[in-house]
Structure formats: C-alpha cells, structure tokens
Amino acid sequence: MKESAQKVARHFLIELLMYAVLVSIYFALVLRFLGSWLDWLFRDHRDYYAAVSILIMLGQAVGLERVLALFSHIARGGKK
Amino acid sequence: MFFPISGVHINPFLLGILGFVIGVLAGFFGVGGSFLSGPSLFALGMPYNFVVGTDLIHIVGKSIVAARQHRTLGNIDLKLAGVMVIGTIVGSETGVQAIEGLKRSGEVNLVVGLTAIIIFTAISLFAGWESWQALRQSRRAGANPSGSRRDVLAFDKVAKAFQGFAWAPRIRLDQSGIAAISIWSIILVSYVGGFFSGFLGGGAGYIRMPAMVYLLGVPTHVAVGTDLFEIIISAGYGSIRHAMNGNVDILVALVMHTGAAVGAQLGARLTQYFSGPWIRLAFAPLPLLGGILIAVGLTTGHHH
C-alpha cells in the first residue's frame, strides 16, 4: 500500500540522521585501518586485491542494507 | 583527503553526497547512475581508467540494495535478466579490452571522454523526445499519466517489430507481459549495453534500460528492476576484471557507496508515485548533465 509522501519524507529524514552518525564513524575506521593494507595489496598482489575489493563491497552493501532496514524499523516506531 | 591507490585528493564527504545523489537516481530510474558519477569523478581529477573501474565496483554494491527493494515490489523479470547476463558479460569484456588498448596508446581520456559526450547527449535528446510524445499520447487517450502506472510508449511499433524477429529459440516472458521474443534480440541489446559498461564505466543502464523499454517492449517498472538485478552480475564481473588491471580505487568506491546505499532506498520507494512516461521524462536531462561534466573535465586540464 502507498504511504503518504509526507510520511515517507519524515521517516526518511529520521533514518538519514541516524545513518549520518554511523557513516561518519565508519569512514574514520575504514580509511584509517584498511587504507594502507589495500594500497599494499593493490601494488603487490593485484589478483588478491580484486577478490578482496569485490568481497568488501558486497559485505558493505549487505551490511548497510541491514543497518538501514533496522533504522527504518526504528523510524516507523517499530511498525512494519 | 589523499586516496593513495588512485593518487587523488578528494573530500570524502563530497564523495558521500555524490553517492547519495547517484543512489536516489539508481533506485528511481533503475540505472547505475554512472552517467553522473563517472563524469563527476573525472571532473574531481581522477584519471578515466580509475573512473571506469571505481564507478563500476561502487555500482555493484548500490545495485544490490536497490534491486532487493524492486524485488519486494515485484519489478524483476528473472528469466529476462538471466538471458541478458550472457550478452552483457561478453560485451563488457570487449569494452575492457578496448580500454586496455587505449591505455597503451595514451589516448584513453580523450577518446572515452568524447565517446561519452556523444552517447550521453544522444540518449538525453531521444529519451526527452520519446517520453514527451508518450505523455501526449496518453493525454489524447484520456488517461491520467501522473496517477497511472499504465505504460505508454511512443515507440510501441518498434518494440513490436523487435519482438517479431523469428530467430529461434524464442522465449515467453510472463513478468514482462511478452508472449514470445527471440533470445538473440535480448542478447544483442545486452551485448551493446555490456560493451558500454566496460568501455565507459558503470552498469550502462542509461543504454540498457531505454533499450529494454523501447526495443524489447518491457514495461518501464519491470525494466528498472530487472536492469538493476542484471547490473549486479555484469558489473561484478567487470569490476573484478578492472581491479585485476589496476583500474579500481576501492577506498573511493566504499566511501561513495555509503551515500549511495541510503539514496537507493529512497529512489526505489519514490517509483510508486510516478508512471512510466514521467519517470522517463525526468531521466532525460541527466545523461546530458554527465556529458557537460566530462567536457568540463577535458577542458579544465586536470588530466594529462
């Protein structure tokens, strides 16, 4: 069933705020701890770099989707 | 901030915002958004070979989120996507090899940039004209285009002619409402899309999505969902190939994807408020914007 556009916008803004905080922490951690290791893989082990890159991206996609689903659930006050 | 893999300085929050905008477009239009993200990365100073690979891997992550949303809405034709993967992978490999050839000749930025400008401009003009015609048709027929999900195509006859190719084997696509279509028509469309995916970067949904609608006759909402699903497989393959060739900066891709993930959810939710011709009309100016960004990148002298 269609939700009203106003309701969608309100839920989305709440989700976005929670998400912005999480993403800022995530940026700091990933760029600080993974940056030099991935750079080393890129320079010296290109095949491993390719495999690791796609796995990290898939992991991040699935992980963020779950986090967003949780935030959406919270923003709607626990309703489906 | 310095990204050591590609050797560029880019503000990570700018990348996150760029990812968000592209994510909304991906969820709404069913395209990877590479007609904007690629040119934007290029305009930010990234060499074109890195633009192509990095954009492609970020699209893999983003499409998973958007495709799952579309699956929930019943917008994915799995049979069609399965056939398209064949043509896309072969086309993508052709595009990757073309990029490698241009890298060796040292002309990659100029040739790929000019090709992208021509393709993006043509798509914008065509999509704008077609959707405008379709809206006029639906108004004449007395339909309410803003409130209806019924799809109207100005190119209905072209789609019917394409479906009429008798080369065996022909398959039935229930989800798309197509009684019979040659498998070769689908493979041809996906091969062209795959080539541009490997050559210009991204999932090439800006070519494949309109081609599915106008040539194969797939309803816009199903084309959007199916294209996203197909992009996961084809762009995944292209990403691995580009990463092995040293064309992927995964750190840039990860940062962009954090914005794209949330944007894609919003875009997919918005599709339920618009009909097919309106979605296509809104899509029309975006590739042109991408073409302008590439022209800026080529003329500002970031790239040598």
CB contact under 8 A, A36 and B236: no
Q: Which of A20-29, B33-42, B96-105, B139-148 has the weakest average pLDDT?
A: B139-148
Q: What is the mean pLDDT of chain A?
A: 80
Q: At B127, is the secondary structure helix, strand, or coil?
A: helix
Assigned domain for B2 exists: no
Q: Is the ipTM of this complex over 0.95?
A: no
Whether B233 has its CB under 8 Å from any CB of chain A: the answer is: no
Residue type, B258: T
Domain assignment present for B159: yes
Tokens of A28: 């700091």
Q: What count of residues does chain A have? A: 80
> Which of the 8 DSSP states describes residue B30?
S
Residue B251 contacts A, CB cutoff 8 Å: yes
Identify the domain containing residue B90 by its residue range.
10-145+153-300
Comparing CB atoms, the residue among B5, B12, B57 nearest residue A54 is B57
**Is B262 an interface residue toward A (CB < 8 Å)?**
yes
pLDDT above 70 coverage of chain B, percent: 89
- Closest in A16, A46, A60 to B262, CB measured: A16
Asked if residue B4 belongs to a domain, the reply is: no
- Tell me whether residues B250 and A12 touch, CB distance under 8 A: no
Total structural domains in chain B? 1
What are the residues facing B171 on neighbouring strands? B181
- Encoded tokens for B188: 């041809």
Residues B240, A54: Cα–Cα separation, whole Å = 7
Distance from C-alpha of B50 to C-alpha of B179, rounded to nearest angstrom: 42
The encoded tokens of residue B78 equal 């799995």
Asked whether residue B218 is assigned to any structural domain, the reply reads yes
Residue ranges covered by each domain of chain A: 2-75
Place of tokens 């914005």: B259
How many angstroms separate the CA atoms of B191 and B206, rounded? 14
Q: Among residues 17-56 of chain A, which lie with CB inside 8 Å of chain B?
A: 19, 23, 26-27, 30-31, 34-36, 38-39, 42, 46-47, 49-54, 56
Summarised one tens digit per residue, pLDDT across range A56-66 is 998 988 888 88
What are the tens digits of pLDDT across the range B137-188? 777 766 554 444 445 555 667 777 777 777 778 888 888 888 888 899 889 9
